[in-house]
């Protein structure tokens, strides 16, 4: 499953939405349209393995983005990825 993640400059997740294939190769987000605010970016990520089994809430609360590898990583004690 692919998701779009809105994140800040430190990799903290600010919002997520599932991306589903649509006819004619277009992409349709099943959640509300994701837009990045000031100091934020949007990244599309494939959820595989254990991450694919987790709820959006678990991912949002327990993970962040490693901006160098563009992968989800468990959060550290300070709340940062």
Burial profile 12-43: b = 16 or more Cβ within 10 angstroms, e = fewer: bbbbbbebeeeeeeeeeeeeeebeeeeeeeeb
Structure tokens at 20: 């589903």
What confidence score (pLDDT) does residue 18 get? 83
Confidence grade of residue 9 (pLDDT, cut at 50, 70, 90): very high
15-27 tens-digit pLDDT? 998 887 666 666 6
Dihedrals phi, psi of 59, to nearest 5 degrees? -65, -45
68-71 contacts, C-beta under 8 A, 24 or more apart: 70/43, 70/45, 71/45
What confidence score (pLDDT) does residue 21 get? 65
What confidence score (pLDDT) does residue 11 get? 94
31-67 tens-digit pLDDT? 446 777 788 888 888 899 999 999 999 999 999 999 9
């Amino acid at each position: 499953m692919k998701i779009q993640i809105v994140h800040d400059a430190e990799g903290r997740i600010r919002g997520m939405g599932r991306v589903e294939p649509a006819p004619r190769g277009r992409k349709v987000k099943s959640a509300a349209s994701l837009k990045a605010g000031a100091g934020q970016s949007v990244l599309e990520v494939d959820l595989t393995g254990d991450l694919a089994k987790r709820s959006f809430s678990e991912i949002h609360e327990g993970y962040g983005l490693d901006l160098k590898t563009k992968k989800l990583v468990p959060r550290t004690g300070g709340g940062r990825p």
